Amino acid sequence: MEYIPVGGRLIHFLEAWRYIRADQLVMKGIKAYWK
């Protein structure tokens, strides 16, 4: 895996969050913060 800074890792794993059916509040928080 390529180097991904600690502070920016969550946005790179949105598909995994969707796969495990993360709560919509969690998804919205991740998207809003890093987009």
Cβ atoms of 29 and 9 within 8 Å: the answer is no
Q: For a pLDDT cut of 70, what percent of the chain falls above it?
A: 51
pLDDT digit string, tens, across residues 9-20: 767 777 776 777
What does pTM read for this prediction?
0.34
Map out the domains of the chain as residue ranges. 1-35
